[in-house]
Structure 1
Amino acid sequence: MLHHAGPGPRTPSRARYVRILPATLACAFLATACGGGGGGRDDDARPRSGGGVAVSYREAEGDDAEHLAFLRRRRLAERVAEDLNATLRLPRRIAVVGRSCAEDDVPEYDPETRRVSLCYGYVGEVRAMFRQARDPDVPGRTAGVITETLYHEVAHALIDRLGLRFTGREEDVADQFAAYRLLARGAEGRAALRAAADNYAQYAADDPEEGDPSDEHAPDAVRSANYLCYLHGSATGRDREPADGGRLTRERAEQCADEYRALRRGWDALLAPYAVRGGG
């Protein structure tokens, strides 16, 4: 979901990844964004020694203080870091930094600074969309979308920092990583993935004619359908996401178990050299 709230052309897709690495980095293996303003020091600006995922926050500006409080209270970034540090032994540090960002900026991984930036304003934007939709669980659904976004951006960091080799579009692979880790978190993770799928559908509905053939992201509607497919293919019985004939057709649903198995095999293989034994 690339968010463009202001004037000017809208680039499709929620999560914008700043591409500084050469395209040739993406080679052979696996078949889903915040620059700008926001001064102040990091709460934990100097990374600890060793590898792993570390979280810090910069001082919030203006109305962003409410969104920073939401992130701290829910420990969304910290829980993503705890999950990854418990399952992966990462030789290089990946920093996740919460900050106030320039208007229209969205969360991103920047390979130049080697940081994932989590924009406080993005939290407010997602929350406002669920409020407008009269969602019965605005805080929970907002937390789900933010968690999915964090996994997506950390996937870009893993690809960069570990030199992971894959085939296909990096944005699709990062979406698959978000699903891979969320589905490993049980019912809570499934709810977060569903919230992200619904949020992508909201963005698609806001701009039904979106689409730029040169954009590295799939259209929001496609990303929504992909997440529903992974939800469907990873479960059985009553837990299975229904094929409603809309975002998830019956024809697509028949392939979803195979898609999910391929996704899991691919990421298992990519991360095998870094896996913590018994880490889930």
Structure 2
Amino acid sequence: MNDRTGGGPDRRYLRKAELLREKVETPEKYPFNLPAVRELERIEFHERVTYLVGENGIGKSTLLEAIAAAWGFNPEGGTLNFNFATAETHSPLHRYLRLIRGTARPRDGFFFRAESYYNVATTIDELDRDPEAKGKIIDSYGGRSLHEQSHGEAFFATFMHRFGPNGLYILDEPEAALSPVRQLAMLTRIHELARSGGQFIVSTHSPLLMAYPDSRLYNLTAGGVRECKLEETEHYIITREFLNNRESMLEQLLREEEE
């Protein structure tokens, strides 16, 4: 695979992630026995957007978490300055990854995890209650406590206010609390930031979010990691088939359920 993503200067902050397989002593144990990790050699990232897609349990979140942790992010999410830990549940996979960085350096960054974003919001509130704190962290998230908003509103406030140009953004299932309209709005936001020097690595189940054209998409399967097109993903195929043949598919699904 060609390691360049376009005809101009290579402006990626993160170029590759490689598994140091020679250091793995227990390949039969978690996380090395996960389908997405078992056959992994390397992933080459697009300068704008890279997608990791696949079925539940394949290892997407574990791999994304390892990439984020190897870069220096808190495994539970947040900026590089977030050092809280509510539970030591992350895998040791990051210690077996080699990240190949580009010559450019990001000015900002964020690891967004849908499943632990409540903990990020709580940490922000706790830090802002410190009387000796200089300024309020929440001001960079729109000024309103994330706990005072719906899940979807809090997610979107982060994307709109906290994310800025020239940043590395690693997102794990950011669509989890977003309506289809909000997912499309997020696609627009990704485009704005990508045009302003942002690089995104996104794990998602949403065909809407996968549709960004200037991107690279990897399908994680039991056979390993394979680059593919949106139209080749199971997410796209099933969604299209359901929308085009809703009545017949429902009839078959519900009949099988009754039987």
Instruction: Give the TM-score of the pair, scaled to structure 1.
Output: 0.28
Relative to its length, the structure with more helix (as a share) is: 1
Relative to its length, the structure with more strand (as a share) is: 2
Which structure is larger by alpha-carbon Rg, 1 or 2?
2
Instruction: Give the TM-score of the pair, scaled to structure 2.
Output: 0.30
Relative contact order higher in (CA < 8 Å, ≥ 6 apart): 2
